[in-house]
Amino acid sequence: MSGNKIFMTSGYSERTKGAETVINKSFDLLEKAVDEMKLGEVFRFCDYGTADGGTSVGMWKFVCSKVLEAGEDREIEVVLNDLPKMIGETLVKNGRSLSELYRNAIVLISPESFYNSVVARSSIDLGFSATAMHWLSKLPYHIENHTHSNACPNGEDFEAFCRQSAVDWKLLLSRRKDELKPGGKMVFVNLSRNSEGMYLGHNKDDKNLHEVLHNIWRAFKEEGEISRKEYESATFQNFYRSEEEYIKGVEEVGGLEILHIRTELIKCPYRKKFDEDGNTEKFAFGLTGTVRSWSEHVFFEAISSRKDAIEDKKRIVDAFYRQFKEEVENNPKSYSMDYIENYLLVSKD
């Protein structure tokens, strides 16, 4: 992704319990991929957009174990990919834990946007990506009256982001197809919207979290805390595709066969725990943390052009999430963050 400022906050995995659950539900596809694959002396696996790796370690171990079951002497090369700014000590530590556990495993790190080539052509046996490729290569424009295209009231805004999403999805598929060996497979686990119009944070029972975030940001504008330009600058550079849109991209790119596809709703682990123990403070803290982990940069970047000290910008963003947390505390039974995820397994011809 060129010219963008996408990143996740530090300690991402600690704040995203649901993301690990989402990944663990892909094990059936990973097992199917390995079982149906002709394995050579070296097995090459790539995890695209892995963040700090904390939610993926269990998945890496699952893949390595499955491959070694078919031959203990086989070497495994694991490539961990994310943007350069995401490559930190935590990812290195998590990667090393894999090579320390499996003597045949070699871990490499590729600091590159997955919109570009990440590894050599025809070099990967199995690729994987979870909850990452909903990020667009570029922002079509700043939406004037909302923060997220999937929730915006203007159909033209939705369509503009949908068109960019379609272009980007085909580019991502083309890149991965080039990197897979003939017969190689790729498991995509992508945020999606289902046939009922649900998507991340919008389950039609509880408050739409994207509406909540937008309403708080709009209130900041109306109260004079931020300017009109700063209000409009807070636009998420992502889009939740439908299952039909995922299929259409594969068909148009060609050279890839869909072996399995499904869309699932995965319940919010923080809300589930709250329903069990009724601890409002713990629930509000956990839900605010997980929402902040993937949204904070949008609001911080919206006020980045200010000449104010970094402390003042941080004050505004902290106040923003403090307001979010207070709203959850005041009405906890109306909040949750369910995931709508599309699980897709493809094979290269």
4 in a structural domain: no
CATH number at residue 263: 3.40.50.150
6 in a structural domain: no
pLDDT band at 16 (very low <50, low <70, confident <90, very high): low
CA 55, 112, 34, 31: dihedral to nearest 10 degrees?
20
Q: Could you report the per-residue pLDDT of 92-133, keeping only the tens digit for each?
A: 999 999 999 999 999 999 999 999 999 999 999 999 999 999
pTM equals 0.93
Query: Residue for token digits 């999937």?
Result: 150
116 in a structural domain: yes
CA–CA separation, 273 vs 75, rounded Å?
41
- Helix, strand and coil content of the chain, in percent to the nearest 5, comes to 45, 20, 35
How many domains would you assign to the chain?
Answer: 1
Residue 173 Cα to chain centre, angstroms = 16
Q: Could you report the per-residue pLDDT of 41-56, keeping only the tens digit for each?
A: 999 999 999 999 999 9
The pair of three-digit structure tokens given for residue 167, joined into one six-digit string: 């272009």
pLDDT band at 15 (very low <50, low <70, confident <90, very high): low
What average pLDDT does the structure give for the chain?
94
227 in a structural domain: yes
Q: Could you report the per-residue pLDDT of 203-220, keeping only the tens digit for each?
A: 999 999 999 999 999 999
199 in a structural domain: yes
pLDDT score recorded for residue 9 = 45
CA–CA separation, 280 vs 286, rounded Å?
10
Strand 339-348 with 256-266, pairing: antiparallel
3 in a structural domain: no
Q: Could you report the per-residue pLDDT of 125-156, keeping only the tens digit for each?
A: 999 999 999 999 999 999 999 999 999 977 99
284 in a structural domain: yes
pLDDT score recorded for residue 308 = 77
- Residue 131's domain comprises 13-348
pLDDT band at 306 (very low <50, low <70, confident <90, very high): confident
Helix (H, G, I), strand (E, B), or coil: what is residue 62?
A: helix
7 in a structural domain: no
What residues does 180 pair with on adjacent strands? Answer: 124
Query: Residue for token digits 């439908």?
Result: 242
